[in-house]
Amino acid sequence: MKRIEGGITAPIGFTAAGVACGIKEGKKDLAIIASEEVCIAAGMFTTNRVRAASVELTRRRIRREIIADAVVINSGNANCCTGERGFQDALRMAESCGEALGMQPKRVLVASTGPIGQFLPMDRVEEGIRQAARELRKEGAHDAAEAILTTDTVTKEIAVSEVIAGTEIRIGATAKGAGMISPKLRTMLAFITTDAEIYQPVLSRCLRESVSKSFNRITVDGDRSTNDMVIALANGLAENEMVRRRTGRRLFQGALDFVCSELARMIVKDGEGATRFIAVTVKGARSFGQADKAARAVANSNLVKTALHGGDANWGRIMAALGYSGAGVNRDLVDIYLCGTKVAEGGKPADFDAGRLSEALHGKEIEVVADLNLGKSEQTIWTCDLSAEYVAINK
């Protein structure tokens, strides 16, 4: 596998565009990603019970049709808590895109992101769709990546290639996300394209597995969005031997895992007000479920996140989070490490060089490890620090 240029349009047959239609002032806010051939589709969606119209529509379409030609995305407006009008507006977005591209509207997927509880300015949106349809091109990946952003400070794009049974296939992707980021796919929008020929149930399983290893392992603020989805489209234009359960799946899974993990890390690093990327690992748990509970509790602790923002080796906050996590924890067995330095041993203070550790804690990437010493299971969750800038962005 190797990284390549091109982002979401790196795979054969995909084009994209991003335009400003007036939802956001002076910024791109509408994107289309399209394939010249019909794609099979797979998706995963927010676990929030309050779901946006775009989530309801796209989830239904993927479950019924499992094929798609394009995705139309708007930013600057979530189209959530907008009732029947909001659902009809999502349908209009698909219909307008289908008409502009000469394809069946039912094969157009829809995504939205932005503030909740506002109606879409549909006249502007429909004009934006027509403009984006005219501007679709292979070089449009970055414009599309820019058009889906909200409070993000950078675009998030990646592409890789892999050789399966002697044929090169490509996977491209783009994502957005900086706030309302919490695990269990309450995170962001992500769109993945591939020219691999792959059996649809295998694509679905591969996507589910990759998401569990990446987007479901990140948290910025513990909040749960109403609009989040991950969509994968495969058009088969690489003409490789069909990827099935055994044929080529391991290689495809590895490439998809890499793409999703890189995007997940980009989202955490661009967390609202973030200055540090933090990897929280809990090991020595009795089961994976218990390791997962404990790691998520530490990663979501505001006290831990603010301490690390200040470069403070306050391991007591980590111990407290472990204790209330619901995981099996014996205080007298827990060892805690910060940036490779043991700060607690057997639930008591360890000797360490405070000056050297303080310097490490002011770096861009911080590693937190808690060894429960109860078993062999472990989990890692990626998060970021919590700064005053986060409050300023969200006040």
- The structural domains of the chain, with segments of one domain joined by +, span 2-269, 277-394
Q: Give the residue carrying structure tokens 């597995």.
A: 209
Residues linked to residue 73 through DSSP beta bridges, in sequence order: 31, 111
Strand order in the sheet with 341-345: 348-349, 341-345, 335-338, 365-371, 277-285, 377-384
- Coil/strand/helix, residue 26: coil
Taking the C-alpha atoms of residue 100 and residue 83, their distance in angstroms, rounded to an integer, is 26
- Rounded to an integer, what is the distance from CA 188 to the centroid of its chain? 5
Cα-trace Rg, the chain: 22
Cβ distance 190 to 173 under 8 Å?
Answer: yes
What are the pLDDT digits (tens) for 326-364?
Answer: 999 999 999 999 999 999 999 999 999 988 998 999 999
Helix, strand, coil in percent for the chain, rounding step 5: 35, 30, 35
Which segments in the chain show pLDDT lower than 50?
180-187
Taking the C-alpha atoms of residue 381 and residue 384, their distance in angstroms, rounded to an integer, is 10
pLDDT of residue 65: 80
pLDDT of residue 220: 67
Cβ atoms < 10 Å from Cβ of 346: 12
Cβ distance 188 to 220 under 8 Å?
Answer: no
Intrachain domains 2-269 and 277-394 with the same fold:
no
pLDDT of residue 216: 87
**Rounded (10°) angle between helices 288-300 and 302-309:** 60
State the pTM of this model: 0.88
Q: Give the residue carrying structure tokens 């020595």.
A: 284
H helices of 173-231, in order, are 200-213
Candidate list 9, 46, 187, 383, residue with the active-site label:
187
pLDDT of residue 221: 55
Q: Is 180 left (phi over 0), alpha (psi -120 to 50) or beta?
A: left
Eight-class DSSP state of 182: B
Structure tokens at 186: 């309450």
DSSP H/E element including 343 = strand 341-345
Homologous superfamily, domain 277-394: ArgJ beta chain, C-terminal domain (3.10.20.340)
| CATH number of the domain located at residue range(s) 2-269 in this protein | 3.60.70.12
Backbone phi and psi for residue 185, each to the nearest 5 degrees, phi listed first: 50, 55
Cβ distance 286 to 328 under 8 Å?
Answer: yes
Active site (annotated) includes residue 187: yes
